[in-house]
Amino acid sequence: MSSITVRDNPENDTVEIRFSDEPTDGPSEPYIRSYNNTRDNAFGPLDAFDCEYIFRQTSRAGPELHRLGSILWCHAYLQLCPKSCYVLENQYGTAVGYIIGTSDTSVMAHVMRTDLVDMLSDRFTQVKTDDPPEVVALKGSIVTGDCSMLLRKPDLLAQYPAHLHINLLPEYRKKGWGAKLMKVFLEKVKRLGARGVHLGMHAENTNAKRFYERLGFRQCEEELDGGLSGEMGRIRNAICMLKKLD
Ligand SMILES: CC(C)(COP(=O)(O)OP(=O)(O)OC[C@H]1O[C@@H](n2cnc3c(N)ncnc32)[C@H](O)[C@@H]1OP(=O)(O)O)[C@@H](O)C(=O)NCCC(=O)NCCS
């Protein structure tokens, strides 16, 4: 029989959760903990490097878009809302999965436009004449804080204000860690006041869709693209999933 040990540290608002009978002070199976953004060496927060690696391994964007994509879909959250970011750490102290997001998408978008852009060098924000269209689009999203499919749907956003991204390295999938990460994240954003959560995903990622549906998410049933795709809850190749938080 496995047990759950939760170490809550209210002083810095972090949490550590272990799901086994293993002693908690030695190497054991992976466990979930808050994202650690402290700079304990010259290279900056180690978690950020691990998260970048996880992002690159799981991203559907081509390698040429990895840097910009990781800013928009990964580092923006680690920098701007670290308190609602969690990692799965393996026995070697490496983050091998993450769930990152915000309890309030409107605030996130605003802070991206103001603070994030100031943190970045021009090469990530200024469009060059020879930039391909995908690069122009990503730079545009960073500069305008375009972090969610619901930003142009204020009524829906008010009902589902939180949003998230979740990724695990292949060898840690299908072992229940995704569901556990989701539970920790949803509890956090609920405590922060969110009554619902949404996410955007690639329409062809049927594995992820089944995972989300298993956890109670449903595809948005409103038109998001003015009828272009002919499908509810879709914008180009992305679909929006929703879940109420009771
Ligand atoms: C999607 C992802 C986060 C799911 O995490 P996971 O740890 O593999 O999922 P879990 O093992 O916690 O599964 C939770 C539930 O979802 C179901 N599920 C997970 N993957 C599934 C799949 N491919 N098909 C059907 N059901 C699936 C599980 O069966 C389980 O249901 P159960 O409780 O009835 O057993 C993970 O597989 C992943 O990182 N994939 C690659 C990156 C990605 O696609 N991220 C999402 C981008 S939108």
DSSP designation for 87 = E
Write the burial class of residue 190 (CB in 10 Å: 0-12 exposed, 13-18 middle, 19+ buried).
Answer: middle
Query: pLDDT value at position 21?
Result: 58
pTM as predicted: 0.94
Please indicate whether residue 77, judged by its CB atom, sits closer than 6 Å to ligand 1.
no
Percent of the chain with pLDDT over 70: 96
**pLDDT tens for each residue of 90-137:** 999 899 999 999 999 999 999 999 999 999 999 999 999 999 999 999
**More confident position, 23 or 38:** 38
**pLDDT tens for each residue of 54-67:** 999 999 888 889 99
Distance CA 26, CA 171 (A): 22
CA R_g for the chain: 18
Distance CA 240, CA 208 (A): 12
Give the closest residue (by CA) to ligand 1 atom 45.
167
Query: pLDDT value at position 25?
Result: 60
**More confident position, 85 or 40:** 85
Please indicate whether residue 175, judged by its CB atom, sits closer than 6 Å to ligand 1.
yes
Q: Does the pLDDT of residue 24 top 60, yes or no?
A: no
Query: pLDDT value at position 146?
Result: 98
What is the residue-averaged pLDDT of the chain?
A: 93
pLDDT band at 26 (very low <50, low <70, confident <90, very high): low
Distance CA 136, CA 134 (A): 5
Give the closest residue (by CA) to ligand 1 atom 43.
167
CA distances from 31 to 18, 54, 90, 126, 243 (A): 5, 16, 7, 40, 25
The mean pLDDT of 134-145, rounded to a whole number, is: 97
Sequence spans of domains, the chain: 5-244
Q: Which atom of ligand 1 sits closest to the CA of residue 174? A: 11
151 Cα–ligand 1 center, Å: 27
Query: pLDDT value at position 185?
Result: 98
- Dihedral (C-alpha) 60, 61, 66, 67: value to the nearest 10 degrees? -130
Query: 5-244 in CATH: which number?
Result: 3.40.630.30
**pLDDT tens for each residue of 179-200:** 999 999 999 999 999 999 999 9
Q: Which residues contact 34 (CB under 8 A, 6 or more apart)?
A: 13, 14, 15, 16, 82, 83, 85, 86, 87
Query: pLDDT value at position 1?
Result: 47
